Chains A and B, each alone.
Chain A
Amino acid sequence: MPSRAPRERVLLVDSQDESRRAVQLLLQGCGMEVRAFASAAAAMAEATLDQIRTLLIARDLVDGDAIHLLRQLAQRGWQGRAILIGQSHAELDDAARAAGFAHVVKKPVGRIELLGALAR
């Protein structure tokens, strides 16, 4: 197996199976390591938070929403960039920005759009 440099680790939280799995495959296909969770609670239990620089969180989760989760993660000391996964670009509203979301990608998340958001 070829040796690899440590890869960028992404935390992905989305309660919609289809959408989350598609994004996970996209991200891993781009060489990233993905920690994918279906609920905010599972994401909160993530043990390697300190190694994660990028968050991708869907606006609505089965047990909460992206803004609340991001606040909680920030309280745990997480720092980095957060990208919102939404139904429309309008979901990156003042509340979302205030919570720390910098970009939004629209479902279904396209490869180019996702790369664009990650490249910024």
Chain B
Amino acid sequence: MNFPLPQFETPAPVALRDRMRQRAPEALATLLLLVSGLALAPLVSRGERYVLVGVLLAWAAAILLLASYSRALRRRLRAEEADARRRADRADELAAELNLLIDGAVGYAIYTVDPLGRVSFWNEGARRLKGWGEEEVLGRDMALFYPPSAVAAGKPRADLDAALRDGKFEDEDWRLRKDGSEFLAQVLITPLLGPDGRLRGFGKVIRDITEQRASERQATAAANHLRSILATVLDAMVIIDERGNILSFSAAAERLFGYAEDEVVGANVSLLMPAGDGARHDGYIRHYLDTGERRIIGTGRTVTARRRDGTTFPIELSVGEAITEGERVFTGFIRDLSDKQRAEQRIEELRSGLIHAARVSAMGTMASTLAHELNQPITAVVNYVRGVANLVEASDAQDLPMIREALDDTAQEALRAGTIVRRLREFVARGEVEKSVEHIPDLVDEACKLALIGAREKGVAAEFRFDPHAGPVLVDRIQIQQVLINLMRNAIEAMAEMPERRLAISSRVESPGFVRVTVADTGPGVAPAVAEDLFRAFHSTKADGMGLGLSICRTIVEANGGRIWLEPREGGGSCFHFTLVHVEEGNSP
């Protein structure tokens, strides 16, 4: 700050009369001297007269000289006095002006501390900014203005030391108000040195910059930040306003749709949809704005999108809503499903391959076990039957007891074969049975995860109706899920050629102690004549079917204490029902 130096005026010329009055005493003294000289003249000799005149003249000259010297002296003194007074006035004026300036500096707290950091001067701005009055802070340690964590870290002293070391200290840091609230401060600390170079204290200028920094950050967040987020999000993202106009278009969206951001910003989002959908979209937004009813916001769904070249592709769209300062925007995250669908197809291939392999290996084990175990009884049966045939041919009545015995043994061996098969079946079914109390909706839910892969893309709509009274069941969870999976996959496969493809899974209370689960489809149905055959192994009408699914279902359901059967569905299609053992909650064994 540069203050103009005070100007001292030159004294005004003194008027002639004043000058005459000022000089009156000396003139009077000279006159008196001359008069007394004249009076003395007759008394002295002629020679002495010359001496007298000389002495008198010398006296007069001395008086005049002395008088003018003293006058000059007085004048100087007076001038100096006036000058000092003027200087003092001017200094007061300056101090007042400076105070006004300091206090008037809106938003600035200006104060000083002594070399130990105790407040020695406190301006009005400091009171306004920090809340303490002058009388409250004078003499107190400036650590008062620092947050506790900064005090603990020794920051107040360190700031002063830094100012002393570097000649000044600038910082942006948090400070406290009297009421304990915090603000972000821009701080300038300057050491105040006396003319002798001794440290007299520190001057501090503080400004509240919370607002400024906050809005800078906001601006950054709103523009660059958003842009960088958009550039890095993996999924394509499109932001639209309430009218459906595109506000921003991420880098991934550019790649996905083939448009550059500049080309689409401002355009209606229907640009990215097939013709019919685009027209409907405006309606959706309007509907939401009018009624607040959400159809897609907050959820995701599969829809069709259109590239710049007009080709369409499936996407998963999740829409969110954000309101910033009264402005409502919708954000759409888009995931390209063409890749995902390909991936799912691959999973599906792998999965069915896996199931196939598992079954083949299970069947392989079972077949070799069967072959091995059944070989003996069957060979025996064959031998007996051959022997009996020979005996019958001979038609000797004596051989009859032997024939009867042989037939008994044949029956015995056949029964044994049956036992082997049953035992094998029990082993297959019970080998892994681990019963637990399960809730049907949970079982179905998990099974659907596997069974319904790719179902939506095949146009199959799945619906669920669970009877709340069809309480928990006691089952082997994995096995029953296998049943559900087999039934659902059969149903989906059966509906492949049908115009209507609806899969319904429901539960209800059957006879006391049982719960019935039904998997119904709108497929071609099954002729009643072959209905029972379906549950036998190796019965299949499919080119690549093994005909094992339903037979495994039956084994499992029966091993779990239920039964399984088929009924035609009203209005076409089939219903596969099976029952499970109902348990009271908390009654698990």
Q: Is the CB of A25 within 8 A of B210?
A: yes
B324 within 8 Å of A (CB atoms): yes
Stretch at the interface among A42-50, A53-61, A73-81, A96-104: A42-50
Give 4 nearest A-B pairs by CB, closest first.
A29-B218, A42-B180, A28-B214, A29-B214
Report if A116 contacts B (CB, 8 A). Answer: yes
Residue among A25, A27, A29, A116 facing the most chain B CB atoms (10 A cut-off): A29
Q: How far apart are the CA atoms of A29 and B223 in the complex, in Å? A: 13
When distances are taken between beta carbons in the complex, the residues of chain A under 8 Å from B148 are: 38
Hey, which chain B residues are within 8 Å of A36, CB to CB?
181-182
Interface digits, B169-189 against A, CB 8 Å rule (1 contact, 0 not)? 000001000011110100000
Choose from B180, B216, B324 the contact partner of A115 (Cβ within 8 Å): B324
B179 and A30: CB pair below 8 A?
no
User: With an 8 A cutoff between CB atoms, is B155 at the interface?
Assistant: no
Within 8 Å by CB of B211, from A28, A35, A41, A119, lies A28
Known: A35-B181, A42-B180. 8 other contacts (CB 8 A): A21-B182, A25-B214, A26-B214, A28-B210, A28-B211, A28-B214, A31-B325, A43-B180
CA A42 – CA B149 in complex, angstroms?
16
Question: Is B213 close to A, CB under 8 A?
Answer: yes
Per a CB cutoff under 8 Å, which of B179, B182, B324 touches A45? B179
B180 lies within 8 A of A17 (CB): no
B-contact 0/1 string along A101-120, CB 8 Å cutoff: 00000000001100110010
Q: Given A37-B180, A45-B179, are A17 and B322 also a contact pair (CB < 8 Å)?
A: no
Which chain A residue lies CB-closest to B216? A29
Contact of B217 among A25, A35, A39 (CB under 8 A): A25
Residues of A within 8 A of B184 (CB): 21, 25
Q: Which residues of A contact B10 (CB under 8 A)?
A: none
A31 to chain B, nearest CB (A): 7
The answer to whether A38 and B213 have CB atoms under 8 Å apart is no
- CB-CB < 8 A to B325: which residues of A? 30-31
From B106, which residue of chain A is reached at the shortest CB distance?
A1
Residues of A within 8 A of B179 (CB): 42, 45-47
CA distance A24 to B116 in the complex (A): 33
By a beta-carbon cutoff of 8 Å, the part of chain A in contact with chain B is 17, 20-21, 24-31, 34-39, 41-43, 45-47, 111-112, 115-116, 119
Asked if residues A37 and B181 are in contact (CB atoms below 8 Å), the reply is yes
Among B214, B221, B324, residue most surrounded by chain A Cβ atoms (within 10 Å): B214
A-B contact pairs, 13 of them (CB 8 A): A17-B147, A21-B184, A25-B213, A26-B214, A26-B218, A28-B214, A29-B217, A30-B324, A39-B180, A47-B179, A112-B322, A115-B324, A119-B322
Complexed CA–CA distance, A34 and B208 (Å): 13
CA–CA, A34 and B184, complex, Å:
12
Residues of B within 8 A of A35 (CB): 181
B225 (CB) vs chain A CBs: closest residue: A111
How many A-B residue pairs have C-beta atoms within 8 angstroms? Tell me. 63
* A115–B325 alpha-carbon span in the complex (Å): 9
B213 near A42: Cβ-Cβ < 8 Å: no
Residues on A with C-beta less than 8 A from B12 are none
Whether A24 lies near B182 (C-beta < 8 A) is yes
| Residues of chain B in range 568-588 having any CB-CB distance to chain A below 8 Å | none
Q: Contacts A31-B325, A38-B148, A112-B322; is A21 near B180 (CB within 8 Å)?
A: no
B395 within 8 Å of A (CB atoms): no
Which of B149, B179, B181, B216 gathers most chain A CB within 10 Å?
Answer: B181
Q: How many angstroms from the CA of A106 to the CA of B446 in the assembled complex?
A: 31
* Residues in B whose Cβ lies below 8 Å from that of A34: 210
Instruction: Give bound CA distance, A53 to B180, whole Å.
Output: 20
Task: Tell me which residues across on chain B come within 8 A of A42, comparing CB atoms.
Answer: 179-181
Measured between C-beta atoms, what is the minimum distance from B185 to chain A in Å? 12
B368 contacts the other chain (Cβ, under 8 Å)?
A: no
Q: Please indicate the chain B residues that have their CB under 8 angstroms from the CB of A41 in the complex.
A: 180
Which residue of chain B has the shortest Cβ distance to A62 in the bound complex? B148
A26 / chain B contacts, CB cutoff of 8 Å: 214, 217-218
Residues on B with C-beta less than 8 A from A21 are 174, 182, 184
CB A68 to nearest CB in B, in angstroms, measures 18
Chain A, Cβ-Cβ closest to B148: A38
Q: Which residues of chain B (205-264) have a CB below 8 Å from chain A?
A: 210-211, 213-218, 221
A89 to chain B: closest CB distance in Å?
Answer: 16
Q: Smallest distance from the beta carbon of A120 to chain B beta carbons, Å?
A: 9
Contacts of A27 in B (CB 8 A): 214
**Contact B323–A115 (Cβ < 8 Å):** yes
Bound: A21/B180 CA distance, A: 14
Alpha-carbon distance A4/B437, docked complex (angstroms): 65
Which A residue's beta carbon lies closest to that of B212? A28
Q: Indicate with 1 or 0, residue by residue over B91-107, a CB within 8 angstroms of chain A CB atoms.
A: 00000000000000000
Complex alpha-carbon distance, A27 and B323, angstroms = 14
Query: CB-nearest residue of chain A relative to B150?
Result: A17
Answer whether A17 and B221 are a contact pair too, CB < 8 Å, given A29-B215, A42-B179.
Answer: no
Asked whether, in the complex, the Cβ of A38 is within 8 Å of the Cβ of B182, the reply is yes
| Residue among B182, B184, B322, B325 with most chain A CB within 10 A | B182
A36 to B177, CA, bound (A): 10
Q: Which of B174, B181, B182, B221 contacts A29 (CB 8 A)?
A: B221
- B210: chain A residues within 8 A (beta carbon): 24-25, 28, 34
Complex Cα spacing A42 to B180, Å: 6
B322 and A115 contacting across the interface, CB-CB below 8 Å: yes
| Alpha-carbon distance A21/B147, docked complex (angstroms) | 12
Kindly list chain B residues whose C-beta atoms are within 8 Å of the C-beta of A38.
147-148, 180, 182
A-contacting residues, B512-545, CB 8 Å:
none
Q: Cβ of A28 and Cβ of B215 under 8 Å apart? A: yes
